[in-house]
Homo-oligomer: A and B are copies of this chain.
Amino acid sequence: MLATLSFFVELDRLKSVERRNRLADGSRRENTAEHSWHLGMAALVFAGFATEPIDVARAVAMALTHDVVEIDAGDTFAYDDGEHAASKEAREQAAADRLFGMLPAPTGAMLRELWDEYERGETAEARYVMAVDRMAPMLLNLVEGGRTWREHGITRDRVVARNGPHVEPVLPDVWRHAAALLTALPP
């Protein structure tokens, strides 16, 4: 019980991990905990639009869990291809060992399996959570007129190349709408 309580308090730190993208109203940057809640809700409401049948409960749990490693490893910007991105896997594996290892064995193993499954990306649920994970910041950026992309010099083509292959095969209708909004932005 004490181990699970310690893990619960440790999770609080994810609220202080800052992502690059802003909230839809532009007021501040998003943190990874609230982003993970948004993905959990997305996993609940978009399942009926997916091209494959989805185990929604598993997808929701995966959405909540997949970024917990950022407590130790920090957020890696989706368009980063420098040293930070290169060391991402090793940092996140060590973080998963430590964080999920805080829990009693069956519960820790359950979360670790969700995280591993997401990372491998080989199941319908992993592909679905990855699609909503790419969709979410793209939509928030689009609502805000593409500010984060402009600030980092990221072109429209790069947004399409980075997100299309993950979103379009899983949520083609979402991608169609996002692509229409993208064409309204400067290239």
Contacts and interface: CB of A to CB of B under 8 A. Distances in A.
Interface of A: 1-2, 4-5, 7-9, 11-16, 23-25, 27, 30-31, 33-34, 36-38, 40-42, 44-46, 48-49, 56-57, 60-61, 64-65, 68, 103-104, 106-107, 110-111, 136, 139-140, 143, 173-174, 177
A37 B34 CA distance: 7
Contacts of A42: 8
Per assembly, the copies of the chain total: 2
Contacts of A2: 177
A42 B107 CA distance: 11
Nearest to A143: B9
Contacts of A44: 61, 64-65, 107, 110-111
B27 A16 contact: yes
A11 B46 contact: no
Contacts of A139: 5, 8-9
Contacts of A25: 12-13, 16
Nearest to A11: B41
Given A9-B143, A177-B5, A40 B23 contact: no
A183 B27 CA distance: 40
Ranked 9 nearest A-B pairs via Cβ: A57-B57, A37-B37, A33-B34, A12-B24, A34-B34, A1-B173, A15-B34, A33-B37, A36-B37
A137 B41 CA distance: 22
